[in-house]
Amino acid sequence: MVDDDLTCLTVAKNHLVDRYDIFTIPSGNKLFQILEKVMPDLILLDIEMPDMNGYDVIKKLKSNKSVANIPVIFLTARIDPESEVQGLSLGAVDYLTKPFSKELFLKRIEVHLLLEAQRKELIKYSQNLEEMVNKKTQTVFELQNAILKTVAELVECRDDVTGGHIERTQKYLILLVKIMFEHHIYVEEISTWDINLFIMSSQLHDVGKISIKDSILMKEGKLTHEEFEEMKKHSVLGADIIQRIEKNTTENEFLNYAKLLAGSHHEKWDGTGYPKGLKATDIPLQGRMMSIVDVYDALTSRRQYKKAFTHEESLKIIRDGMGTSFDPLLVEVFLKYETEFKNISNESISDIYDMSKIDITQLVSATKEMFNLFDTRKGVENHHIERLQRYLKIFINALSKSGNYKKEISAWDIDIFLMSVQLYDIGKLSVKEDILNKTEKLTQEEYEDIKKYVDSGMKIVQQIRKNVTDEKLLNHAEALAVSHHERWDGTGYPIGLKGTGIPLQGRIMAIVDVYDALISERPHREMFSHAKAIEIIKGYSGTNFDPGLVAVFLENEKEFEKGTNCE
């Protein structure tokens, strides 16, 4: 309490001393000396004081960030409304007129201390919430990046997700950018880039290979002229895929880099490259940079059609391509620092570059749309994953109100669960396309072959798990990948689990996956109506599907019907 009247200070102290710790201070100047050592929860401030009146004191308080939020109650003998308005306008929280009753005095202080406690609690909650959001954002980023990288590896060579081509080329690009900055090579152009997005987008440089036939992509011998012409189409197909992904995203900078890389990294300095035959600096700088690191990694890696070349052999080939295949300036940089390029492959990306600055919304959006396009492995927009996520949201909302499933559902991180849906059928990327896209009924042998994709999916999820720090992060994905073809009666695959021995994630997915398959057109049949799909699912309750889950599904079937709309 700040007041130059000793009597007022004494009376106030007597009123308050039994409930609160109170400092009685005779002047504004003395208050600021005390505030250097003490941080009060409330200031009671007289207006009529010599040297520094109450208005001057509150102005000084509010101009100092460290004490500006301390609530101030003005105490004054003035009763005119103008004085009260002036005090409140300067930031006071209340106005008490002298002389005041003890009961009113105590009640006003009690109310404002309660409000101050609530304000502090709200700030604390906000800070904790921000910390939780930041932690969740980092978790989502880590998962999406691991998914994107592993799937990009799988696209590169469908039966091998451990090659490391994507990560190595990212490392080479990071080093190349660093050297270019240091030596002012094309620095005016690269200084305008978002380097984080550029590096991240490089994972999609070969995304068009998803549309190349297995017989060509995985051929062990040399490609024929016709096969090579077919292979060359992956640049155009990649740019087209990314362009289609762009249509369904709001943030496109990440995808703009990806499109440039996909469409131009096979162009050559002398104009003999593909797909457009661009020449010299008409080739986007991003593509010229990727061209060198992509070729270097291809040369030093074993491929189906060749053994790995030594570092020295690879350098010679790149040197020979200076001014014909590659930008001469970039080759000079590469050759000058060749030892660093040779050694960097042993380092972790996180050791040489901070990838956490990426706008997570762009990464999540791009990854989701990529899976929508990959569902048929032909770059056809399908939205299967998106529909499944909508169905699952409806299902989980309904199950969270059900006594039988509420406890288990409440323990899930629903956002991570829905994100993991992207991986439930990931093993299909390793299934031969002539089986995957067959229009007739599969033979028994083909059916047994396609069932193996569940094991492939598990291996892919385990590979992704190696790229995340939280061991529990992919538990949902693992449960979905391995159990969504199990059946309630034990006749499913791959393990033959039965009843509640099947993870709940798999039992839920089994229903929504079949529902979406039934109402969608497939190579071997036409789509069914919603009513027919409901009838089929109801008929398999207790054999294929958990009867309790089917009951919940049927109770909410109108919501599921609405969820089929992608708009």
CATH number of the domain where residue 139 is located? 1.10.3210.10
- Whether 125 maps to a domain, the answer reads no
Q: Of residues 41 and 216, which shows the higher confidence score?
A: 41
Using alpha carbons, list the distances in angstroms from residue 320 to 208, 278, 303, 335: 28, 20, 22, 12
Structure tokens belonging to residue 316: 């010679």
What's the CA gap between 144 and 150, in Å, rounded? 10
- Whether 271 maps to a domain, the answer reads yes
Residue 266 pLDDT exceeds 80? yes
- Whether 374 maps to a domain, the answer reads no
| Pair 167, 248 in one domain | yes
- Whether 111 maps to a domain, the answer reads no
At 136 the pLDDT is 62
| Pair 484, 347 in one domain | no
Residue 267 pLDDT exceeds 90? yes
At 485 the pLDDT is 93
> Cβ(196)–Cβ(357) under 8 Å?
yes
Residue 58 pLDDT exceeds 90? yes
Residue 360 pLDDT exceeds 60? no
Band of the pLDDT at 352, cuts 50, 70, 90?
very low
What would the mean pLDDT of 186-195 be, rounded to a whole number?
92
| Pair 57, 167 in one domain | no
Band of the pLDDT at 175, cuts 50, 70, 90?
very high
What would the mean pLDDT of 221-243 be, rounded to a whole number?
88
Site of tokens 């005095």: 105
At 523 the pLDDT is 63
What's the CA gap between 140 and 365, in Å, rounded? 12
| Pair 335, 203 in one domain | yes
| Pair 353, 390 in one domain | no
| Pair 244, 169 in one domain | yes
What's the CA gap between 478 and 500, in Å, rounded? 17
Last residue of a domain, one of 100, 125, 154: 100
At 283 the pLDDT is 97
> Cβ(91)–Cβ(58) under 8 Å?
yes
| Pair 173, 303 in one domain | yes
> Cβ(237)–Cβ(217) under 8 Å?
no
DSSP-derived 3-state class of residue 345? coil
CATH number of the domain where residue 68 is located? 3.40.50.2300
Using alpha carbons, list the distances in angstroms from residue 324 to 286, 296, 342: 17, 16, 23
- CA 18-24-27 angle, to 5 degrees, is 165
What would the mean pLDDT of 123-151 be, rounded to a whole number?
68
Q: pLDDT for 377-435, tens place per residue? A: 544 446 788 889 999 999 999 998 877 888 899 889 898 898 888 888 877 777 776 77
SS3 content of the chain, % helix, strand, coil (to 5): 60, 5, 35
Residue 358 pLDDT exceeds 60? no
Residue 143 pLDDT exceeds 70? no
Residue 498 pLDDT exceeds 90? yes
> Alpha helix locations (H) across 67-194?
81-89, 102-156, 165-182, 187-190
| Pair 171, 292 in one domain | yes
Give 307's contacts (C-beta < 8 A, 6+ positions apart): none
At 194 the pLDDT is 87
What's the CA gap between 469 and 474, in Å, rounded? 10
| Pair 515, 416 in one domain | yes
Number of domains into which the chain is organized? 3
Tell me which residue range forms the domain holding 45.
6-100
Band of the pLDDT at 538, cuts 50, 70, 90?
very high
At 161 the pLDDT is 43
74-88, 137-151, 307-321, 481-495: least confident range: 137-151
What's the CA gap between 234 and 242, in Å, rounded? 12
What's the CA gap between 481 and 202, in Å, rounded? 27
- Eight-state DSSP code of residue 502: S
> Cβ(566)–Cβ(383) under 8 Å?
yes
Task: Give the CB-side neighbour count of residue 305, counting CA atoms within 13 A.
Answer: 12
Band of the pLDDT at 565, cuts 50, 70, 90?
low
Give 42's contacts (C-beta < 8 A, 6+ positions apart): 70, 71, 72, 73, 109, 112, 113, 116
At 367 the pLDDT is 63
Element containing residue 44 per DSSP (H, E): strand 43-46
Cis before 40 (ω within 30): no
What's the CA gap between 94 and 71, in Å, rounded? 9
What's the CA gap between 139 and 416, in Å, rounded? 9
- Whether 476 maps to a domain, the answer reads yes
Residue 353 pLDDT exceeds 90? no
> Cβ(23)–Cβ(32) under 8 Å?
no
What is the distance of C-alpha 198 from the center of its chain? 16
At 26 the pLDDT is 92
| Pair 351, 401 in one domain | no
> Alpha helix locations (H) across 301-452?
311-320, 328-336, 338-344, 349-352, 360-374, 384-399, 406-410, 414-420, 433-436, 444-451
Structure tokens belonging to residue 358: 């990426």
Using alpha carbons, list the distances in angstroms from residue 403 to 197, 410, 518, 559: 45, 11, 29, 20
Last residue of a domain, one of 100, 115, 149: 100
| Pair 329, 181 in one domain | yes
- Whether 109 maps to a domain, the answer reads no
> Cβ(309)–Cβ(317) under 8 Å?
yes
| Pair 347, 389 in one domain | no
